[in-house]
Amino acid sequence: MFIRAERIETLPPYLFAEIDNKVQKAIEQGMEIIKLGIGDPDQPTPDHIITKAIKAIREPKNHQYPSYAGLPTFRQAVSQYYDKRFGVNLSAEKEVVSLIGSKEGIAHVSFCYVNPNDLVLVPDPGYPVYSIGSMFAGGEPYKMPLLKENNYLPDLDSIPEYIAKAAKIMFLNYPNNPTGAVATKEFFEKVVKFAKDNKIIVCHDAAYCDIGLDGYKPMSFLETPGAKDVGIEFGSLSKTYNMTGWRVGYAVGNKDIIESLGLIKTNIDSGIFQPLQYAAAEALSQEQACVEEMTKIYQHRRDLVVDTLNKLGWNLEKPKATFYVWAPVPKGYTSQSFATLLLEKAGVVVTPGVGFGKYGEGYFRISLTVDNEKLIKAMNRIEQQLGDNYCK
């Protein structure tokens, strides 16, 4: 009855509708389904963070509109965290802005710099918000394939010069969702040079920068010399502190870009509920023992999943970061048909790689965010149903 705007009408189709239907049917038939599809931590938010939030909620001054850019306490905590964790110096006032979850900033940054028909470089496979945010601003995503042979880093040399010259923004994400890949210092140096040569704004999504496994410490893009001249980094409390539902994140880096993002936000939202900002500041500034514990849990689960798949004939390396395992589908399957097989035979839901873009075809993603007992059950079922040397 009402004609939708083109930006909504041209949204890519929801790829998981068919699988969602099948999940629903299986549940109705009484099948016990184990969902390894969504990356949403199963563990609770650590207690000291909750305690801080409760205390702050009781303060009437925290019930009013928060400041747009974020409380000084929160922005200082982000700045101090960057100094301590990465050795990166940030002005809390000019180089940090709070976000209602990093997704919000990722979706809005294109509004700051993208005019209709401008190009935006986005990784494929990748978090869908990079493309969709740029499309909402009228821009056109240009896909940078993330291929296994390049360790899932985009090959900047293969981007045609006329594309590079025309592009406004490049989105990157390391440690990477969905592939679990990590960036190297050399790669980030190359990105800074590429961005300078072509006057491109780099938006690095560091949502998983503290989910390093086996003692690995992922780096910040801002550690790269010159990075602050060309870009910003998005950060989030969601994955590091099991706070996906709280909606607290931030963007840091180049002060002009941070200012532009703040300007857009001032006209759209009214900041983050102050008690949540105090709690987030507490999370960032206190001891990080809770993060250590959590990464140990993911490490254990990762080993369980990778070892099981390798026993069945896969040949996977263990990802050094994130809580995802990215694996090729066996011969003869598409990512959707293999996900359907796992659902129908084993009652296990995984994400078909094609949901992250066309270069995700041929892969599936397992998320490690369910409790150990369920994960063991899921792996046992997969083992029983597929059998040894299933994937050769």
Site membership for ligand PLP, residue 175 (CB under 6 A)? no
Nearest to 19 by CA among 7, 4, 36, 2: 36
What is the rounded CA–CA span in Å between residue 39 and residue 355? 14
Site membership for ligand PLP, residue 369 (CB under 6 A)? no
Site membership for ligand PLP, residue 295 (CB under 6 A)? no
Nearest to 79 by CA among 102, 95, 68: 95
Nearest to 356 by CA among 347, 364, 344: 364
Site membership for ligand PLP, residue 179 (CB under 6 A)? no
Angle between the N-to-C axes of helices 289-311 and 372-386, in degrees from 0 to 180, rounded to the nearest 10: 10
Binders of ligand PLP in range 190-209 (CB under 6 A): 205, 207
Residue 169 in 3-state DSSP?
strand
Site membership for ligand PLP, residue 238 (CB under 6 A)? yes
Site membership for ligand PLP, residue 70 (CB under 6 A)? no
Site membership for ligand PLP, residue 357 (CB under 6 A)? no
Work out the number of other CB atoms within 10 angstroms of the CB of residue 80: 15
Residues in the chain, total: 392
Give the interface segment with ligand PLP, choosing from 138-146, 235-243, 283-291, 382-390 (CB under 6 A).
235-243
Work out the number of other CB atoms within 10 angstroms of the CB of residue 245: 10
Site membership for ligand PLP, residue 139 (CB under 6 A)? no
Q: Is 238 annotated as a binding residue?
A: yes
Site membership for ligand PLP, residue 152 (CB under 6 A)? no
Looking at 35, 52, 75, 103, which residue binds ligand PLP (CB under 6 A)? Answer: 103
Nearest to 203 by CA among 178, 226, 222: 222
Give the interface segment with ligand PLP, choosing from 26-34, 82-90, 161-169, 237-245 (CB under 6 A).
237-245
Give the interface segment with ligand PLP, choosing from 68-76, 139-147, 233-241, 381-389 (CB under 6 A).
233-241
Tell me how far CA of residue 168 lies from CA of 113, 171, 231, in angstroms: 7, 10, 11
What is the rounded CA–CA span in Å between residue 139 and residue 120? 7
Pairing of strands 324-328, 363-367: antiparallel
Site membership for ligand PLP, residue 177 (CB under 6 A)? yes
Q: For ligand PLP, which is the closer residue by CB, 236 or 242?
A: 236
Give the interface segment with ligand PLP, choosing from 30-38, 86-94, 101-109, 359-367 (CB under 6 A).
101-109
Residue nearest to ligand PLP according to CB distances in the complex: 101
Tell me how far CA of residue 346 lies from CA of 19, 130, 159, 242, 351, in angstroms: 14, 33, 41, 28, 14
Least spacing, CB of residue 39 vs ligand PLP, in Å = 6
Annotated binding site: 14, 39, 68, 127, 177, 208, 236-238, 247, 365
Q: Using CB under 6 A as the criterion, which residues of the chain lie in contact with ligand PLP when the complex forms?
A: 39, 101-103, 127, 173, 177, 205, 207, 236, 238-239, 244, 249
Annotated binding site for pyridoxal 5'-phosphate: 68, 127, 177, 208, 236-238, 247
